[in-house]
Amino acid sequence: MRRPLIYLFIAFIAGIIAGRYFSLPYYFLLITIILTFLILIITIKNKWPIAGLFLILFLILLLGFFNIQKQRYFFEHNQHIGQYIDKGTLTMEGIVIETPLAYLDKNVLIVRCLRIIRDKKYVSVSGNIRLVIPPDLKFQYGDFVRFHSTLKKIHNFNNPGGFDYERYLNLQGIYATGFISGASRIILLRQKTANCTRLYLESFRNYLKQIINKNSSSPQREIIEAMTIGNQNEIPADVRDNFNKTGTAHILSISGLHIGMVSAVAFFFAFLILKSSEYLMLRLNIIKLAATAAFLMVLIYAFIAGMGVTVMRSALMALIFLIALISGKQKDLYSTLALAGLIILAISPQALFDISFQLSFMAVLALIYIVPRFSGISSGNISTLPLWTQGIIRYVYLSVIVCIAATIGTLPLIMYYFNRVSCVTIIANLIAVPLLGTLTLAISMLFILSAFFSSTIAGYFIKLASIFVQISVDIINKLAAFPWSSFNTTRPNLIEISVFYLLIFLLIQYIEAKRRILPKEFSSKHFRIIKYLLVVTVLFFAADITYFTVRDKLSSDLKITVIDVGQGNSTLVQFPGGDNMLIDGGGFPESSFDIGKAVVAPFLYYERISHIDTAVLSHPHPDHLLGLIYIMNNFDVRQIWKSNLPVDPEDFPEWGKTIKFNSPRVFMLSNKSPEIILNGVHVQVLWPPDYSDKNANDLSYDDVNDSSLVLKITFGKVSFLIPGDISGDVEKQLVEAKKDLRSDVLVVPHHGSSHSSSTEFIKAAACRYAIVSAGKANVFHHPHPSTLQRYKSAGVNILRTDRDGAITLTTNGNNLRIDTFIKNK
């Protein structure tokens, strides 16, 4: 069999994927693996090659299945810390096993729990937890701590297209999270209790950080830190966003590019030094010696970068390629890549679902497949030029081919995960990769090596690196400033991604066939098959684009989705004919977590929505407003509906800036606004009165809640009432004013608080379904039990985003269909 490692790699991936979505009892799986192995031995002894081949692949599949399931098996052990979730406040002790992550509003520790204290006795436990502490509390890797906290299960925002954060942490062995409110809840028992080697590395990393901080300013300081010691959290948001727009954000995080560049630079200089010695050239294989030097430099860099999961995966892949070079097995790059992937997934099976692994793997695969086929440049066109000019032309040409190949290999994944495509990515990478990925990184390596001997010399290298970083940042900022530098895209599905890669493969095969460089056995019949398949894939994308372009325009249904944004509100209304309305965007006060970016936008991308016709702000509170800011900055929001109540610029300074920058039309609505008809759907504003003569500072927090826009949406015989955060006082005024509150579906006022949803209001609404938008186990205890009881007494069916996830209601004007993201409660 040619390239057997590729088949083993595919089988292992199949096992990991199966193990992610299905589960088997531990002993059943173990017995199956043992039996398969025994049968395999029998087939080998009897020389049954075909049966043996299938058994080997099946065994590898089972091992992949077991590998991804092992964390679940550990969790089910009765001494795992996850068994103490929701068991009240616990006193726990454990070791900080990762470098703490620092954010503006919090620090995050990963703690390996060793024991809990119950009834003044120690109880041994195992497993890791994610512990959130205030930003002013500082701990380090290796600290042994005692803390008091209630363990909670890790929760997702349960929406279509959302990131499965719970599974992401579970695959890393983290099943619980805790929260520390102040210094009295956590104490340091002793320091430096973890691995001695890692402790030394952390100390050296802190030493390097001090040198960087002393010899550079922002943003050079943060970028150099990110590229050397792997600390990305402190990079300014505007700098990071500009790198995202230009498709160069990969340079800011240590990945395969950095490891590859370190390897290449180390190999190049080692080779030059060795080549200068005639004695060494005659007696030794200097290529293998240079590869060994590069091997050692990659190891040093990986350790200095913090030995994070992403860094170690990239380093391992580079090391395997270097080993292949040292051992003389470098020609079969596909098998080498398969071996690297197999080893990485055997050590860390969850890497298969990690963005960085997927991007690195596909980038390398694209480089291996595309670059050799197009790396040659006709010497006839440049033969009359000076040799140095020819060298420059060849270098630029090859750099462009490499950029194009890497872009093609990662484009579908970038669209899937980041929903953004850069139009300047090739030119930006042609500039940034040499400046940052080569020059700055090479200087940074000299900085690391010199830091072992002299902080003064190391500081000079940082000052030199800062010059190239500043040049790069200035160029990136200028490229990102072009309005066409990037555009947002909707999320492609797995079929579209697969067909895209098939299209690239067929296109290259077609080009090679036209250039007559395919093998002789490649017949004209094969060439015709390629042409036909190429036409089919092009037709597929033409039909696909046409379908999603006209799908919503031809829709005759009204579709309303109450999005799970935790403790807040956000509702998407999709009108017949394709118009979209987003009512509120959720948000968390005094938090660095951007609900618009992390929750609402992914749902919109999943729904193939790239613009919002109308964004509605029910009232200016953070749990309704903050998420809209990201939406307005990244989607084509054409108009804003809000009440006359002004948004306080001190509380929400970004709101005014966003409105000014994007220039949507802003409409002030009140209960005097006329009924609005959108494609046959009637939208009425039932509340509030005109607040144009009031100052936001004159209103209390509850008054602002009572200023919420109350919208009634009617399509045919079906009505929906969305009343924001109004209280019982406003409910009473609406009832007494004899407003038509009758509706089939009511979004429960103020997340189901005890001060809303009066009996009279529920009776006036006469709804069949009530939807509560609230966060799981929120501090406000919404929805209140008394509120739920009033709805139950009225015979109303209750749905809740904290239990059902996103709730979608679809109607044709006569019938109503309800779907929840979480099934089988």
pLDDT tens per residue, range 674-731: 999 999 999 999 999 986 665 556 788 899 999 999 999 999 999 999 999 999 999 9
Kindly give the pairing relationship between strand 769-772 and strand 681-687.
Answer: unpaired
Average pLDDT over residues 345-359: 86
**What is the sign of the dihedral through the CA atoms of 621, 627, 628 and 629?**
positive
pLDDT computed for residue 825 by the predictor: 47
32 φψ region: left (φ > 0), alpha (ψ -120 to 50), beta (else) = alpha
pLDDT computed for residue 681 by the predictor: 96
8 A C-beta contact, residue 642 and residue 614: no
Distance, CA of 196 to CA of 177 (rounded, Å)? 27
Stated length of the chain: 825
Residue 699 CB partners (closer than 8 Å, separation 6+)? 645, 707
Indicate the range of 64-68, 537-541, 808-812 predicted with least confidence: 64-68
Return the higher-pLDDT residue of 600 and 298: 600
From the list 694, 684, 689, the residue with the least C-alpha distance to 670 is 689
Return the higher-pLDDT residue of 392 and 558: 558
pLDDT tens per residue, range 642-669: 998 889 888 899 999 999 999 999 999 9
Return the higher-pLDDT residue of 328 and 219: 219
Range from 78-82, 167-171, 431-435, 614-618 that averages highest in pLDDT? 614-618
Name the pLDDT band for 330 (thresholds 50, 70, 90).
Answer: low
Residue 216 CB partners (closer than 8 Å, separation 6+)? 224, 462, 463, 465, 466, 469
